Amino acid sequence: MARKRSSQTLLKRPRNPDRDETGNRGKVINRFVENDLIRRVSYETYRDKVRDVYDGPQGAVLAACSLISLHSPLGDRLLRTRKFDLRGAKRILDVGSGAGQIAKHLLKYADADARVTCFDLSAEMMRRARNRLKSKAPHYLVADLARLPFASGTFDCVTCGYVLEHVPDAALGLGELARVMQPGGRMMLLATEDSFSGAFTSRLWRCRTYNRAEIKRVCRDIGLVWHKELWFTPLHKMMRAGGICVELVKS
């Protein structure tokens, strides 16, 4: 006699091909809009293309774009209100500094004796950052997130604002950042999320997007504790908007 199917079997739904490995429904339209250059070429070729973008006219208007999109003033608010607390940090690394949008906030809210290091893949962006910040306090250099020229355990604080999406997988960038962080060091990570607005950002800046669960999994695997999620405003938290913004701690 045939065995009766359990209620669990009856309720089980067939696997949806548009569902990704994290269990979230894939958003076909977002994948269509998102720029896929990073997945089609070698990392070296992609890195050169990104450098061209930021060396050129788009990079020249980056600071203005950050202001218009409110990322710059909202980032200032995160540090000013101590949602990400810089107090006590003595060696701070600002990743992919661009035109110095986050570095500007670091100079305002970090301890007076803190040493700030700024780097970017684009030498032209570093020149723009120097001109915009009008400060000799930071140490400026050109470097690649995937191959950082720092000794392990150099920094006790890292800020990484919308840079991780310029490497092909999160483990490549986060692994290098974890390496140069001291145990107990903290990181403020902002990354473009796999939403429609994130896909549009990807198209504009030739970057990829990340799934929140994917970032969490990588952090767990490399010893970065997902300490707390950060939100620009209560409205951003309610709407789950603003991309991925989190404080990570190296275990």
Residue 10 scores a pLDDT above 80: no
In this prediction, residue 28 carries a pLDDT of: 77
The Cα-based distances of 186 to 164, 223, 228, 232, 239 in angstroms read: 16, 12, 11, 18, 26
Q: What is the mean pLDDT of residues 37-59?
A: 96
Reported pTM: 0.87
- Average pLDDT rounded to a whole number, residues 80-96: 98
Nearest to 90 by CA among 112, 73, 69, 74: 112
Cα separation, 226 vs 242, whole angstroms: 18
Least confident range of 21-35, 46-60, 62-76, 83-97: 21-35
Q: What is the pLDDT of residue 25?
A: 52
Mean per-residue pLDDT, 165-169: 95
Is 60 exceeded by the pLDDT of residue 9? no
Share of the chain above pLDDT 70, in %: 89
Asked if pLDDT for residue 5 goes beyond 60, the answer is no
Structural domains of the chain in order of their starting residue, each with its CATH number = 27-250 (3.40.50.150)
Give the mean pLDDT of 160-171: 96
Averaged pLDDT, 106-134: 97
Cα–Cα distances (Å) from 195 to 29, 64, 228, 251, in that order, read: 10, 23, 21, 30
108 or 4, greater pLDDT: 108
Predicted confidence (pLDDT) at residue 194 exceeds the cutoff of 80: yes
